[in-house]
Amino acid sequence: MLDNKKVVFSGVQPSGNLTIGNYLGAIRNFSAFSEEHLCFYCVVDMHSITVRQTPAELRRRTYETLALYIACGLDPMKNNLYVQSHVPAHAELSWILNCYTMFGELARMTQFKDKSAKNETNINAGLFTYPVLMAADILLYQTELVPVGADQKQHLEMTRDIAHRFNNIYGDVFVVPEPYIPAEGTRIMSLAEPTTKMSKSDENENATVRILDPKDVIIRKFKRAVTDSGSEVRFAEGKDGINNLITIYSCFTGKTVSEIEREFEGRGYGDFKIAVGEACADALKPVQEKFSELIRDKAYLESTMKSGADSASYYARKTLSKVKRKVGFVI
């Protein structure tokens, strides 16, 4: 706990155009913590380079991700918004924690196996130790709550294991974080393959709806969404496609599943897909308008990056100094 407030940390990679999965499952929910928690929301550019990036695109997307944070409702005056590589303590703590993480633990990480299969020509050490950097990100701020998607729970469990291991050796150095997983919208699925999570790196453009997609593009993508051979808008086991669309519609409208089923009783999938697309586009419109305003003001974004990094560094140094003393470094 810092400043007598519970600490919340989360980060988003600037390695692709953010989707409604990122929005509904994470970013939209962040502002709820701002009043009563000390919040650190990071653009995790260091994580991005485990996969080869085009430098100019990575820089552009770093600005865009920060602008999206603000456009989605995160006030820089109430939250620490910053870029990961601007706070060197992340990398320093990561190296120390590498020495308290077991090889076998990292080898069991599902995401490492998945990404290795997709990047067989670039299975680098950073990809393997990615969870340790994530642990450093979280533990650096004595974080108590981490808003995560279901696919990140394994990494958070490793973070907890590392914290426990370090604390058992040196005393109560780290707060052991807890996951915060909202009941709704945490796992938005692909529109093309509704058994897999919607991913910003998906090569199939029809599979993902991006936060900055124009309205006509959004509606077209929902019209093409994969469903089953039926026509009844009803949430049921084995109907992954329509279940995903119902979840998305519920998240954007606030309506319950039963209310949605009654609303579209006697109407087919075609009507429902258009309605989901329109609800999505209408909800994203103010975000897109605010983003367009912000992205043109590079000076403001850079000022926000600097003030956020300065603030984050202040808190990060406290933890890092304590860790260095514990392991025996001269500081």
What is the separation, in whole angstroms, between the first and last Cα of the chain?
Answer: 24
| pLDDT tens readout for residues 157-188 | 999 999 999 999 999 999 999 988 766 556 89
The token pair at 239 is 């109907």
The token pair at 269 is 């999938």
Q: What is the pLDDT of residue 123?
A: 80
Please give the model's pTM, rounded to 2 decimal places: 0.88
| pLDDT tens readout for residues 255-306 | 999 999 999 998 889 999 999 999 999 999 999 999 999 999 999 999 999 9
Q: What whole-number percentage of the chain has pLDDT above 90?
A: 68
Per DSSP, the residues of 11-79 read: EE--SS--BHHHIIIIIHHHGGGTTTEEEEEEE-HHHHTTS---HHHHHHHHHHHHHHHHHTT--TTTS
How would residue 51 be classed by pLDDT, with cut points 50, 70 and 90?
confident
Q: What is the pLDDT of residue 153?
A: 76
**Catalytic, out of 115, 221, 239, 273:** 115
**Catalytic, out of 78, 113, 118, 200:** 200
Q: Is 115 a catalytic residue?
A: yes
Q: How much is the mean pLDDT over the chain?
A: 90
Q: Can you tell me the mean pLDDT for 145-161?
A: 82
Q: What is the pLDDT of residue 251?
A: 92
| pLDDT tens readout for residues 24-49 | 888 887 888 888 899 999 999 999 99
**Site of tokens 């998945």:** 114
- What distance in Å separates the CA atoms of residue 282 and residue 315, rounded to the nearest whole number? 39
| pLDDT tens readout for residues 102-135 | 998 888 877 766 676 677 677 888 788 999 999 9
Q: What is the pLDDT of residue 154?
A: 78
Is residue 97 within 8 Å of residue 129, measured between CB atoms?
A: no
- All structural domains of the chain, each given as residue ranges with its CATH number in brackets, are 6-181+298-327 (3.40.50.620), 205-292 (1.10.240.10)
Q: Can you tell me the mean pLDDT for 244-256?
A: 93
Sequence-separated contacts (24+) of 50-58 with Cβ below 8 Å: 50/115, 50/124, 50/126, 50/127, 50/130, 51/15, 51/115, 51/119, 51/122, 51/127, 52/122, 53/15, 58/14, 58/15
Q: Can you tell me the mean pLDDT for 184-207?
A: 84
Q: Compute the Cα dihedral for 25, 27, 28, 32 and give only its sign.
A: positive
